Amino acid sequence: MFEAPCPPHDLQDKSGFALESYETLVVHWPAIIANIVGHIRQLIDGTLAAGSDAAHADDGLGDPAARLKINEGKEIISKVIRLKHRMESDQELEKIPEDGEFYVEEYNSELEKLAQAGQNTWFVVPWLFAESYLYRLIRSYFKQTTHWTNFDPFRKKKEETFRNSATAVYQIATMMHDLDSEKASLVDPAKLLVLFKEMVQMCLWGNATDLSFLIHLAPSDIEQFQQVGRDAQRARKEYILKDDQEVAWEYIKSLQPRAGLVARCDFVLDNAGFELFTDLVFADFLVTYTPYFSTVVFHPKLFPWFVSDVTPADFYKTIHSLSSPTFFDKTTTTAESARHLKEMVERWERYLKEGVFCLSTALEGGHGKTQFWTGPWPYWYMEDKANDLWRSLSESSLVIIKGDLKYVTTYMTPVIFVNACLVSSYRKLTGDMKWPVSTPFATTLGPLAGSFPLLSLRTNKSDVVVGVPQDVADRLDEKDERWRVSGKYAASVLL
């Protein structure tokens, strides 16, 4: 197994820009847990209030199913509060219970290795494993119930945040409508390059809606991060530390259609809500307005992960919400823009029926392949740990991976990697190691390096930053010590 030549990030490091690790342990995770507790309590109170009018039995409810759901909810709350206490008092990470879900043995095996190394308490465990373990353990609390097994404790927050994106959603819908009216003239690759850049930057900066990172932002702050106008994009260019978008487009142009061949693009999804919306827009652009792709496969997480990651339910719910005339506040748009959105989403619904768009879990063996995204390992080990997924992606013409927690590589397949999560894909790809900032990106991929051409589109939101010249990093350190985690800077690098 590959071993990096440097140690992993841990949760005790309070120095300089690595302070983000410690803040995650003492601020972010407790806040996430508190939100789960508050949400379940609110639902229990609502159930009690509804039942008290109908019966005056146990807990005010005569319905045994309702009583069981309440009791299960209380048990989940108890477990989550206990987890928070163990975390804050630096106790050992407990084994994942046998809950019928996948990777129980794998997570527990990693825990045993950490125990042997004296790294199995919350303050000393490697950060990347700790965060993956946290969401897998929380998943087990719900999985072991009757009435909460499919409950997503983060869905409410995801939907609320998406509603606050109405202005940007309608703006983009109108942009796509205007594009459709000019479709006949979009035969010049130079024009398509301009549009390709627009789509890349839309996805890149749209990643600012990562809830685990921006959980305390006001709606106006979120909207500011989601500006997609050309002026805003030009202003942001100075914050892209390396820009290989044109090189990526040259590769895409090489994917000339050939008789009998289907050019497939794969999106490994990150955040739900507005970011998923921009992913769908980007995918729409690739299959509708360029001649290079004919199908798009979207890869979600199988259960609630890192607060805001896309689950299968999130994917379909987003399509439904965009189709609803009441989901967004009508005062945020005009009737014309609302019509533009309706037309675009109807096209997506048609693509889903025709197989132009497809969720990976709907494909043969898709459920098993999708498990890897929520496993305990760096993505270095995809070929070994999830060979079916590895081989499937190697058949794609282009893989676009979203989120600061994942990079993926497979032989002869290019990847566009778009990341922006405090705790997401970039860290899983690089192993969350303390790489020197000037380390070539390819080096940090370990055994995945060279597997296929990869375009990394990354918004800096985690301590791990590589591929930046040392003198540039030194200047940024002097200007803003938190440039690695602020989400203000980005890079697009083709390998």
- Look at residue 328 and give its three-state secondary structure: coil
Q: What is the pLDDT of residues 130-154, one digit of tens each?
A: 999 999 999 999 999 999 999 999 9
Q: What is the pLDDT of residues 288-319, one digit of tens each?
A: 999 999 999 999 999 999 999 999 999 999 99
Q: What is the pLDDT of residues 244-269, one digit of tens each?
A: 888 889 989 988 776 567 789 999 89
Residue 133: DSSP 8-state? H
In order of their start, the domains of the chain are 16-149 (1.20.930.60), 156-494 (no CATH)
| Four-point Cα dihedral 53, 56, 60, 62, nearest 10 | -90
- Look at residue 176 and give its three-state secondary structure: helix
- Report yes or no: 9 and 127 within 8 Å, Cβ to Cβ: yes
Predicted local confidence at residue 17, as pLDDT: 53
Predicted local confidence at residue 411, as pLDDT: 30
pTM of the model: 0.88
Rg, Å, the chain Cα set? 23
Structure tokens at 111: 């825990």
Structure tokens at 379: 């993505």
- CA angle, residues 391, 396, 397, in degrees to nearest 5: 145
Structure tokens at 400: 């676009």
Residue 464's Cα: distance from chain center in Å? 17
Predicted local confidence at residue 412, as pLDDT: 37
Dihedral sign computed on CA atoms, order 85, 87, 93, 97: positive
Structure tokens at 384: 């070994």
Q: How far apart, in Å, are the Cα atoms of 28 and each of 197, 238, 402?
A: 33, 30, 21
**Positions of the chain with pLDDT under 50:** 54-60, 207-218, 221-222, 225, 228-229, 405-414, 417-423
Structure tokens at 66: 């309702």
Predicted local confidence at residue 104, as pLDDT: 98
- Report yes or no: 397 and 461 within 8 Å, Cβ to Cβ: no
**Closest listed residue to residue 128, CA positions, set 153, 154, 104, 110:** 110
